[in-house]
């Protein structure tokens, strides 16, 4: 029986009881209870333990020049992603992806990612963010290309860059994804490597556990990227 039908039946029972007698004793009180319970039921909690946050408006990033910055292969760079579901660290792969990592650091240094969202969540697959529009269609207005290692496997915790089907292998702008389950292991190495989550995987799992539209991946609860900062360690 649907919830709306159950409410209707309970309401009709209450009306019949009221019309049949002037008695205001316990029978009428008990008849009123089911309707009150149904109509006052609270909405389900979709947060999965995350803090409530307002959905950011689309972000105007202006005209951004394409960077030439590359990571120093002899150094270690860690990107800290702060969200309303907790924080996690990505150690950028400076040796195998200096161009991709350099672009990511360049954008983070300009606060490009701040106050954006994880706009796509696919259970046991990936969480995806980095779009200033929040729709999956935005980016910095340019593309960099760095072919990923041919042996790359998209296992849990690996972070890579999203691209369209028409983009060449290793193409990226600003959108990135974090692998959350075995579903991504079937992907061929076409997506530019960024690095791997080395701390805070519990926060990633919390985000990955949020309900989302099975067709679009749009989450039922807003996950905000408060900031992304990259530091040398």
**Domains (range + CATH), the chain:** 3-39 (no CATH), 77-232 (2.40.100.10)
Please indicate, yes or no, whether the overall pTM of this predicted structure exceeds 0.85.
no
Q: What is the pLDDT of residue 41?
A: 61
Q: What is the pLDDT of residue 190?
A: 97
Q: Which CA distances in Å does 3 have to 32, 38, 123?
A: 16, 8, 28
Torsion of CA 53, 54, 60, 64, to 10 degrees: 10
Question: In the chain, which residue ranges form alpha helices assigned H by DSSP?
Answer: 3-20, 26-39, 98-109, 201-208
**What is the rounded distance in angstroms from the CA atom of residue 144 to the CA atom of residue 67?**
9
DSSP string, 129-172: EEETTSSS----S--EE-PPPTT----TTEEEE---TTSPTTEE
**What is the rounded distance in angstroms from the CA atom of residue 233 to the CA atom of residue 73?**
13
Q: Are 140 and 61 in contact (CB under 8 A)?
A: yes
Q: What is the pLDDT of residue 12?
A: 33
φ, ψ (nearest 5 deg) of residue 166: -90, -15
pLDDT, tens digit only, all 233 positions of the chain = 333 333 333 333 333 334 344 444 444 444 444 444 444 567 788 999 999 999 999 999 989 999 999 999 999 999 999 999 999 999 999 999 999 999 999 999 999 999 999 999 999 999 999 999 999 999 999 999 999 999 999 999 999 999 999 999 999 999 999 999 999 999 999 999 999 999 999 999 999 999 999 999 999 999 999 999 999 98
Q: What is the pLDDT of residue 19?
A: 38
Q: What is the pLDDT of residue 44?
A: 86
Q: What is the pLDDT of residue 174?
A: 98
Work out the burial of residue 32: count CB atoms within 10 Å of its CB; fewer than 13 is exposed, 13-18 middle, 19 or more buried. middle
């Amino acid at each position: 029986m649907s919830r709306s039908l159950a409410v209707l039946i309970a309401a009709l029972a209450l009306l019949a009881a009221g019309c049949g007698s002037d008695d205001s004793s316990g029978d009428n009180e008990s008849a009123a209870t089911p309707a009150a319970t149904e109509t006052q039921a609270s909405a389900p909690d979709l947060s999965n333990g995350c803090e409530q946050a307002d959905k950011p408006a689309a972000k105007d990033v202006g005209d951004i020049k394409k960077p030439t910055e590359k990571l120093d292969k002899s150094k270690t760079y860690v990107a800290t992603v702060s969200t309303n579901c907790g924080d996690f660290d990505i150690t950028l792969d400076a040796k195998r992806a200096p161009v991709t990592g350099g672009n990511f650091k360049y954008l983070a240094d300009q606060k490009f990612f701040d106050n954006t969202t994880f706009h796509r969540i696919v259970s046991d697959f990936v969480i995806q963010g980095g779009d200033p529009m929040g729709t999956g269609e935005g980016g910095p207005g340019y593309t960099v290309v760095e072919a990923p290692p041919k042996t790359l496997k998209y296992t849990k915790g690996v972070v890579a860059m999203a691209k369209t089907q028409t983009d060449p292998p290793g193409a990226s702008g600003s959108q990135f994804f974090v692998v959350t389950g075995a579903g991504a292991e079937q992907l061929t190495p076409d997506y530019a490597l960024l690095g791997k989550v080395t701390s805070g995987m519990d926060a990633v799992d919390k985000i990955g556990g949020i309900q989302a539209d099975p067709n679009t991946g749009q989450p039922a609860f807003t996950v905000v990227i408060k900031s992304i900062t990259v530091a040398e360690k």
